[in-house]
Chains A and B, each alone.
Chain A
Amino acid sequence: MKKLLVLLMTGLFLSGCAVYKQLTPEPGLSPQEQGFLELKAKDKNLVLKKEKKYYIAFPAPAEKNFYLVLKITDKDKIQTSLTAKLDKESIPGDKIKDNAYDPKTMSVYPVTSADSVYYWLIEGVPQEMALQLEYRYVPQWRFKWENRHAELRQAFRQNVVDHNIYRTIGVTFHFEGFDFKKVTDSVSNHLAELKKAYAELMDIESIFPPSILNSKDQAYQDFVILKKQFEAEIAFQGDYLFALDFFRIEIETRGDHVAFMDHVNDFLSYFRQKDRLIANVVQEAQTLLTNRLNLAVAFFDIRLKEKNDATPLDKEYYRTAEIRKTDSLWMLAGTPISESYSAFFRFVTSFDDRGTGLIAAREETAKINAAVVQDTALPADDYFASVRAKAAAVAVPEKLGQEFGKYAGFICTGKLNAAIDLFRADVNRAQSQYALADSLVRQVNAFRAQKDHSSALGILKQNLSLTFLVDKYRSLDRISVEEQARTVRASLANAAWGGAETGLFKLNRDKNFIDMPKIAALKEQTVSDLEDSLYIKVDLVTRQRVDAFCEEQWKTLDNVDSLYTDSVFLPVHDITFSSGSKTALVQRKEKLVAHLAKLKENEFPEKAIKLLYDEFLKNPDDSGVLKARAVVVHGAHYKGTDRDIAMRVAECNPKSAKLISKPTVYRRVFALPTTDKRQGKNLYFVRLNINIDSEAKFPVYDINIKLPKEVAQNAAAAQWYEKLMMNNKLLKNEGRFTISAPTAASNWECQITPVQMVKDKGNYLDIYFYHNSFKAFALSVMAQKPIIKKN
């Protein structure tokens, strides 16, 4: 009722602007499954007008998987289609496929209860015509079965094969001369056709409504019978083909044991499914398999007999992987394994396993040994215990004994057993060496802990055959040398000269080294360096003592001479060690003594002179005379060649001439008392050496002397100098020779002119004057060339 109301409302709504005009049959349409019903409008055919478009609304079925079947007269004159949607009676939805077996007169549309209504559309009406239409709602399976069951039965009948061969295999039928290909192809084709038809059946079955199952519906009953027939024949043909394949392989590999072995997986698969086969077929297969495996033993025995080494069996040549699977094959086939095959099988697998195991053991042992060798760190006490444990854990394969029967006499068996024996011996030897090493390491390490590397090396040196051990300690050679050197250096650092020398002696004589030739150079160099260090240290400490002495004593102004007899200038230690000869020792000691002499005669006076001179220059009025005299005394002990030192001494020694070598340059010189009255009048003296390069053959100079005011200030009243001597000739203020009196106006400068010089020789000007003081007077002296004037 509701559906009708909807249809009515829809018709009313769309009537105003619709493209398609609804045709409404009377009586109304029923979606129930039944036969064809004629569609009329009050017993009259519906009329279609030319070029008009129409639709008829078919209600949806109550269940899914139904067909709406329409039988249409003049179907070919009009265009029809079915859709589940028609908006505003104008816009149709997707067209539903027409599954009609006879499309000229009939339309078959799948419909379902999921939709509410279907619109059958009529278009292309060529002329006004009456619509003659029958309709039917029918389940799809039924419609298909009604249309297909005859063809399906026919397909079954045409593809059934002969079952006799299969049923007589091994009984009356044997495969000699059998055309496997032809039969197999034929059966395979039939099987394919069966499966194709069977799939169609399965397709129909899949749309069975639940209500049809186990029902008495004849169509359904027919369907079930046909399906079972199909299933039985398909199973048979599968088994038949399965069996044929096994026998085909057996036939094809006869005489080729290797090829036969290559199908071992096929055989395993075959026997795993032997239950699907009938007994005679299984039995025939077992017979054939047993026969073939036994024949394979003989074949491979030949190959094994020819093998003359201990290496594991070649997988390809001996098909070891396949042979290993025959164990399961025997079992799956369900036949007792033959004794010969069993012996063969054990030998092959044992030889292969032990050969492989030997290699693995060797590799493992080699790995352990290599690790020992490669581990360059100095071993801990338990290092070799651990190595021993690892070595012991390596599984050494057992030999192949008489239990392998004839195989025990094979060459390869002998080879393998010999290799195992040899390897075992190696393992035992290594074990004993590691045990010894374990013991030695603990002793060596004990000495090392005591820094007694030499004793440790002594132990190792007695076990040089344990190269894996000794090699680990090769660095000990260097460590021993370095440790001994360190000890000596520590002694040197602590000024423990005796200890240092003892250490040096010990190191020099030490022969406990793993690789003496290799360490010899280092040892000798170390000894040499330490020996040098000893000498240098003694020298240095002596020097430091002297330096300290100098630092304290350079200021000494009184009794300076006594400084040079101080014991500080003797070595702090009398060295007895020498890596060289006695002569070398003596030479080195002499060198040291010479060096000390140098300290005494060179560096000390040099230092004292420099410092005293600097002090003197800084403040000549502060004990200047004493400092200058001290410089002179130091200078007397100075045997160096430093010109600056000599110059300083000369500057402080009034008797040393002060060189004036450049004209016009004022040079400061010191006049110092030659007498020693701390109170009262002293005679001062300064000597100048005027040696100036000149183009003249007979150079003449003006000598200008700037005097301290306290020396010159009374020059107007009394001659400031006692005497002036030039090259030991007295200079007098007479004639052409002028000695001008210094005045305040001349800045207390006195000029002596013209002073005749001897060319290219020293010209010594001695200045003597008295002064009531005891100090160093700084004078400034300059020489310049006088000039000729025209007027």
Chain B
Amino acid sequence: MKKGIIIAAVVLAAAALLYIFVFSKNLSGRIVMPYIAHQKPRIDPHVPSSVPLADKLDEVVFDGLFNVSANKSGIVYEDGLGEYMGMDKNNVVSVRLKPKKRWHKSFMVTMEKDKIAVNQKKNIYFMAKDLKFTLRRIQKLGSLSPDYILVSQAVKDFDFSGPDENDEILFQFKGDRIWSENDVKEVLSFKIIPAESEMDAPEYTVGTGPYLKAGEYKENIYFTKMPEAGATIPFVILRPFIDNSTYTTELKNRNLNALLSTPFGCISPILMDAKAYFYKSSIATCFFALLYNVERLTLEQRSELRKLVSNKKIVERFFRIGTEQQRNIANYRGAGNNYAEYLNYSIFPSSSYYVEEKIVTPLHIAADDRPNLSVLPDTVVIQTCVNYDLREELSELIDILNDPSVTSGKIKALAVQNEDLRSGNYDAVLVPITGYRSNFLFDLYEVLLREPDFNLHRINLATAVNPSGATVIDDRSFTSDKNFSRIDLEVSPEKENFKKLLDYVYGFMSTSEIGDKQAYAQYIDQLDQEIALGSWLFSLPSLAYFSTQFDNNTVDLYGTASQLSTIEKWQEKAGK
């Protein structure tokens, strides 16, 4: 029996190998990327998503008047739905709309299993009203949308005049800057959605971008390229997986050919074959943080806990530095294993502009500044949820935090169900902050106003209009069950500081002034150093793997640009 079983197993393995090597998947003509099965990317091109892939898909589905792309030299601006005609001496920008651009709904896409057929329906062209609607939506979203910040610094009224008989529209830009063509295109690079869209839809799928969504089959999400235009590679397919730990294997097994993030952000030992894979690193977009429960921990306790949690030790354990299993990393600047650069000492990650440019001066706790463990609870309970993305990393971090050699045995980290987080039965919560931007548009709402729910991405931002007519943040934005830190302005003894914090956060997020951003960043960082909101741990390196099915030279990732900003230019290698 045993022998039979062994033979059967061998036969099965042989069959599997045969399947792999003989009937290997043909991914030609497709870009296949993974997603967490229970975290379908819902695309909203104007607000950040908790699913990083959703933000990246903005570039796949939508166009702006101008699109930000990248080449070997860096960021480039390309015409999208508009053509830059010039700017007059009064800062009036003239843009000619491209009236032949069609919305995806101009086509009927049918799927029979995974076979996709695209047929022309009645052409529905992009029009000025679509742009007007989009601008109105961005204006309404306000500080929730990075596009609001971009546009508001240039176009005060979020409006334009025209179009005239040449389809030219005019934007009145502010006069406080000599606007370069690239400046204008940057400001007008927000993605445009149809005027018929709902103002507050769960997701937006109709765009004019290089790929249009075809549909789903067996939870695979299919995008097909726009006929007669758009991308080189015909299809983009998103494949569902339970967790991200299998991504590299799936890539190796040719179930995927593009992996935008690897587990632990490290170089994968199984993907070392340079003939089969190549990787490209970019600036970090995810960091881990312990957000302290201010309802359960006093200021003193939080301060001491912050001393207790050494991100350096955690990183060393996380990447197994100095061990045979060391997880090697490569950052976008080309340096290898520069783990220290990913250590964060501020709510602003070290890779962010605010730290890199020394706008803030993060608190570095001296090695000899030992925590007073006596003020801490006997056990500091840290919770997280490992049912969503970054499951592998979070599990590893739970182990590390529970390691007495790391946290002196004072911490009890555990994974809980997402629903349990709402009750706030933790002293701190381990949260991955994904999709953050290292530039000016670093999102503090994501850290401090996100409702404690790993499944949903909801920012608890409430605003009001003060007697002067200015929009201000409402105190209700800090409600204990609406943020991981359990901050509540009604009951907290630290109400004054938290109120200050809330104002600073809103000031930071709502301003389009660099100086204000910098100042509020300083205030927030300084305040955080005083009130110890959490341990900011470290950022995860951003490393993307690609099958050499693709021509390395056509896949450009640069700096803070979206990884998929050049997807329409990707090409397959000849003979693949």
Contact = CB atoms under 8 A, between A and B. Distances in A.
Contact of A664 (B146, B153, B178): B178
Nearest to B512: A788
B149 A788 contact: yes
A66 B355 CA distance: 169
A787 B189 CA distance: 14
B419 interface: no
B358 A787 contact: no
B161 to A, nearest CB: 22
A754 interface: yes
Interface string B2-28: 000000000000000000000000000
Contacts of B183: 787
A663 interface: yes
A696 B565 CA distance: 32
B181 interface: no
A735 interface: yes
Nearest to A782: B178
Interface in A737-791: 754, 756-757, 782, 784-791
B334 interface: no
B186 A696 contact: no
Nearest to B190: A790
A790 B186 contact: yes
Nearest to A701: B515
B273 interface: no
A122 to B, nearest CB: 126
Contacts of A784: 176-178
Contacts of A699: 513, 515
A15 interface: no
B197 interface: no
Nearest to A754: B514
A698 interface: yes
A694 interface: yes
B518 A756 contact: yes
Central interface residue in A695, A735, A787, by most chain B CB within 10 Å: A787
Nearest to B174: A785
A126 to B, nearest CB: 127
B187 interface: yes
Given A664-B176, A736-B359, A790 B515 contact: no
A789 B177 contact: no
A787 B175 contact: no
A663 B176 contact: yes
Contacts of A782: 178
A697 interface: yes
A788 B154 CA distance: 10
Nearest to A786: B514
B439 interface: yes
Given A736-B359, A787-B154, A787-B187, A696 B439 contact: no
Contacts of B440: 788-789
B560 interface: yes
B177 A787 contact: yes
A313 interface: no
A191 interface: no
Nearest to A700: B515
B511 A696 contact: yes
Give the contact-size bracket for chain A.
Answer: 20 to 34
B396 interface: no
Contact of B153 (A735, A754, A757, A788): A788
Contact of B176 (A735, A757, A785, A790): A785
A786 B176 CA distance: 9
B206 interface: no
A33 to B, nearest CB: 136
B68 interface: yes
Nearest to A735: B358
A692 B183 CA distance: 21
A698 B357 contact: no
DSSP majority for the B interface? loop
Contacts of A790: 68, 146-147, 150, 186, 189, 437, 439, 441
Contacts of B353: 736
A697 B508 CA distance: 11
A791 B77 CA distance: 11
Interface string B546-561: 0000000000000111
B271 interface: no
Nearest to A785: B176
Contacts of B518: 698, 700, 754, 756
Nearest to B359: A736
B356 A788 contact: no
Contacts of B516: 696-698
A698 B514 CA distance: 8
Contact of B515 (A663, A664, A698, A736): A698
Most chain B beta-carbon contacts within 10 A, residue among A692, A695, A782, A790: A790
Interface string B500-540: 00000001000111111111000000000000000000000
Interface in A66-99: none
A754 B441 contact: no
Contacts of B146: 790
Interface string B183-196: 10011010000000
B176 to A, nearest CB: 4
Interface in B48-65: none
A736 B513 contact: no
Contacts of A788: 149-150, 153, 439-441, 512, 514, 517
Contacts of B147: 790
Nearest to A736: B357
Contacts of B68: 790-791
B75 interface: yes
Interface in A143-186: none
A218 to B, nearest CB: 144
Given A754-B514, A787-B154, A790-B189, A736 B439 contact: no
Contacts of A698: 513, 515-516, 518-519
Nearest to A783: B176
Contacts of A736: 353, 356-359
Given A694-B513, A788-B517, 11 more contacts: A664-B177, A697-B507, A697-B511, A699-B513, A754-B518, A784-B177, A787-B187, A790-B189, A790-B437, A790-B441, A791-B562
Interface of B: 68, 75, 146-147, 149-150, 153-154, 174-178, 183, 186-187, 189, 353, 356-359, 437, 439-441, 507, 511-519, 559-562, 565
7 contacts: A663-B176, A698-B518, A782-B178, A785-B174, A787-B187, A788-B149, A788-B441
8 cross-chain pairs, A with B, having the tightest CB-CB distances, nearest first: A736-B357, A700-B515, A696-B513, A698-B519, A698-B515, A663-B176, A785-B176, A788-B440
